[in-house]
Chains A and B, each alone.
Chain A
């Protein structure tokens, strides 16, 4: 599998990319940091990534709850429209309060009211309502897709950072062992 070009991305929507370390020795020399400072820096980066991940996951949960709501609204408007030609009223039982239901009789109607949020409700014709709801649904789905891609990117950066931490740590252990071995050999000779 050839290397993909994702190594060229330096950041995505405000999330900095984690630079891949080709060689630990070169990385430490170039950054001028000693092992402990380097590890501290990488750990901090990891924490920042985790914070962003939590924020994105919360946004994802909101969107995932919003989408079925919009689909239910579309269903109701479609049902009302289907009833329109027949001259029959739609009879529906709805919840007045927890555990208490009442019966409503919805006559043939050309319009519905949509809750837009911020204490605002507007009346729309059935067709306009369907269009608006459809557009909202598409926007929500598109936002969700972008969000999911962001999360994938973020998780990749977390993985790269975790691997880098492990490699720097292992390199350090390796160095200490070599130094100890060299010192022991020097003492014996």
Chain B
């Protein structure tokens, strides 16, 4: 993202703050994309894990806690995975919501800044 003040249009403190805010939102948007990707992968892994659990008929399952694999009865593993799935889904939902909000705010700022500076400013991804 480049910025430029036109040689004819003056840049006010309010404009500067809008540009700053846009920069922050853009950074946050990229962070959110990464976080959403990780959360989606986590969701998929948990889904795969619970499918495997259904297929297996072992009574004792090795469940990873920290760096070790603890032997646990199947029901306990099932409920732990269910719990983790819920937490990850909620987290993913929250991230998606934040991403939508960030995009909306960025669109609004683009409208304001392009409105004032037209070609003198570039707010696109390079």
- CB within 8 A of B3: which of A94, A104, A162? A162
| Chain A positions within 8 Å of B65 at CB level | 72, 75-76, 79, 92
Counting CB contacts under 8 A, is A30 at the interface?
A: no
CB pair B66–A166 under 8 Å, yes or no, is no
**Shortest Cβ distance from B61 into chain A, in angstroms?**
11
Counting CB contacts under 8 A, is A179 at the interface?
A: no
Main secondary structure of the interface of B (DSSP, over half): mixed
Give the number of chain B interface residues (Cβ < 8 Å): 24
| Chain A positions within 8 Å of B5 at CB level | 163, 166-167, 170
CB pair A155–B67 under 8 Å, yes or no, is no
CB pair B7–A171 under 8 Å, yes or no, is yes
Docked complex Cα distance between A174 and B20 (Å): 25
Give the number of chain A interface residues (Cβ < 8 Å): 34
CB pair B4–A170 under 8 Å, yes or no, is yes
Counting CB contacts under 8 A, is B118 at the interface?
A: no
CB pair B66–A160 under 8 Å, yes or no, is no
CB pair A20–B16 under 8 Å, yes or no, is yes
- CB within 8 A of A79: which of B13, B17, B24, B70? B70
Given contacts A72-B67, A90-B70, A156-B20, contact A163 B14 (CB under 8 A): no
Docked complex Cα distance between A162 and B16 (Å): 11
CB pair A92–B71 under 8 Å, yes or no, is yes
| Chain B positions within 8 Å of A75 at CB level | 65-66
Counting CB contacts under 8 A, is A121 at the interface?
A: no
Docked complex Cα distance between A160 and B19 (Å): 8
Counting CB contacts under 8 A, is A118 at the interface?
A: no
CB pair B7–A174 under 8 Å, yes or no, is yes
Given contacts A79-B70, A91-B71, contact A166 B3 (CB under 8 A): yes
Given pairs A93-B62, A162-B3, 18 additional interface contacts (CB within 8 A) = A1-B14, A3-B14, A3-B17, A6-B17, A23-B10, A72-B66, A76-B68, A90-B70, A90-B71, A92-B71, A94-B69, A101-B69, A152-B24, A155-B27, A159-B16, A163-B3, A163-B11, A170-B6
Footprint of B on A, CB under 8 Å?
1, 3-4, 6-7, 20, 22-23, 72-73, 75-76, 79, 90-95, 101, 104, 152, 155-156, 159-160, 162-163, 166-167, 170-171, 173-174
- Give 6 closest A-B pairs by Cβ, nearest first: A72-B66, A167-B5, A91-B71, A174-B7, A93-B69, A94-B68
